[in-house]
Amino acid sequence: HTVGPKMGEGDEDTKLTSAIRSVLKLASDKGLTSISVPAISAGIYGFPKDRCAKILVNETRKFLLESPDSSLNLVEFCLFDKESFEFFCNALI
């Protein structure tokens, strides 16, 4: 579980980056092989879905590339609407 930033708090991109990094590191430290991650803060906290997708995908990719010994081998993004799905698909390209 993680808490993401609320829009309007300031420095939201950095806070979201920190949140996903913490999630990935904790999962790896616990020896997990897979996790499911929602579009953190893109719901009621009002974080723009396109920015959320870019940050989560880029930071996940970066973590996996920089941590070849990590136990994680599957990170699934659990998305609840078509718009989020499309933003995440575009971020993966």
Residue 7 lies in a domain: no
Domain containing 34: what range? 12-92
Domain count, the chain: 1
> What are the tens digits of pLDDT across the range 9-44?
999 999 999 999 999 999 999 999 999 999 999 999
CATH of the domain at 47: 3.40.220.10
Is 5 a member of any domain?
no
Nearest to 43 by CA among 89, 92, 14, 78: 78
pLDDT tens sequence across 49-84? 999 999 999 999 999 999 999 999 999 999 999 999
Task: Tell me how far apart the alpha carbons of residues 82 and 11 are, in angstroms, rounded to a whole number.
Answer: 27
pTM for the full predicted model: 0.94
In a domain, 3, yes or no: no
What Rg do the C-alpha atoms of the chain give, in angstroms? Answer: 13
Does 52 reside within a domain? Answer: yes
